[in-house]
Structure 1
């Protein structure tokens, strides 16, 4: 099986945005309800480790139900984790069989999209919370939208629990990223208070 998606552009966005987070930004609110920037960054450090392990088909001991505290070396650790994540999913075998992350096992081809979805959505969250630009590649938006839309049909509310908030309606002529954000329970117009 060929490599399905390149996670490098989304990982590069997260890395760029994180590099410009100032200490005074850490307590700022984010579009993720009840998650200040410090918790969002801790989640990014954790998920990048978990999805790198998933791409390499290695067990990961972390507990997805608990976000650890933000490590002191979060900047260098996040960069290293993102590089490892991208490298792991560049191997064709990462997309074959099954993969596990956060206590969930699913087809590896879906797990890779979930990893991308986490990078795109939380990259946007972090950019919004810290007043930075965000760009997502059109192919990444399409892949993530397909995943989010599939979980956003009436009656699918239970399957979204813990992954997305309630669907946020967006205008019919909204661009692809805004549609993805709406499916993922985010208001595309969110700004920090």
Structure 2
């Protein structure tokens, strides 16, 4: 087991720096603007919270104007859901994929941390990724199966890996493995 709180707290902190004029800004995810990335983050919180409880995801209550508080609440709920040992046991399902609970936890962590980076660079912020979190994600993405073959990289979701020097920081290597260029920055950020 590991603690989700450093990752979810960092994502919640980054939300404070997102302004409505950022909503149309490009992100490192080719198909998403910031608003779409925020929607995805909200949805994945529900999906992986349900996966921890071995239940079906709820749609979650929402009300206009409080998107930031709702998403911060969902992040905190996600972290709390994975504090229960039963979340890590047996199998569970998220996004239509059945997997061991332990694997699902790492996938959830990956989603939160990598999309936090996406959000940070799209909005001109810096993300803090704790070394144990980066090491967990690096181990997941660089894992090989028993035959020595690389595990699927989910290129259809994250994109093909980007070459990053082995001397680069561990989280930069994770970004490369998830199809991101660690040097990506928004072409222009609106300032207000």
For normalisation by structure 1, the TM-score amounts to: 0.87
In the alignment, the residues of structure 2 paired with residue 133 and residue 161 of structure 1 have an alpha-carbon distance, to the nearest angstrom, of 26
2:129 partner SS: coil
**Cα RMSD, aligned residues only:** 1.9
Maintained 8 Å contact 1:45/1:74: no
Deviates more, 1:72-81 or 1:123-132: 72-81
Cα displacement string for residues 131-185 of structure 1 (whole angstroms, at most 9, x for unaligned residues): 011111111111111222237x97766x513332111001221010110000010
Residue 46 of structure 2: aligned partner: 49
Maintained 8 Å contact 1:164/1:185: yes
- 1:72–1:101: structure 2 CA closer, same or farther, 3 Å change rule? farther
In the alignment, the residues of structure 1 paired with residue 183 and residue 155 of structure 2 have an alpha-carbon distance, to the nearest angstrom, of 23
1:137 and 2:134 correspond: no
1:184 and 2:181 correspond: no
Residue 190 of structure 2: aligned partner: none
In the alignment, the residues of structure 2 paired with residue 61 and residue 85 of structure 1 have an alpha-carbon distance, to the nearest angstrom, of 13
- 1:155–1:84: structure 2 CA closer, same or farther, 3 Å change rule? closer
Structure 1, unmatched stretches of 5+, are 63-70
How many residues align structurally?
180
Residue 82 of structure 1: aligned partner: 75
For normalisation by structure 2, the TM-score amounts to: 0.88
Structure 2, unmatched stretches of 5+, are 188-192
Residue 91 of structure 1: aligned partner: 84
1:150 partner SS: coil
Match of 1:171 among 165, 176, 180: 165
Maintained 8 Å contact 2:7/2:129: yes
In the alignment, the residues of structure 1 paired with residue 149 and residue 35 of structure 2 have an alpha-carbon distance, to the nearest angstrom, of 33
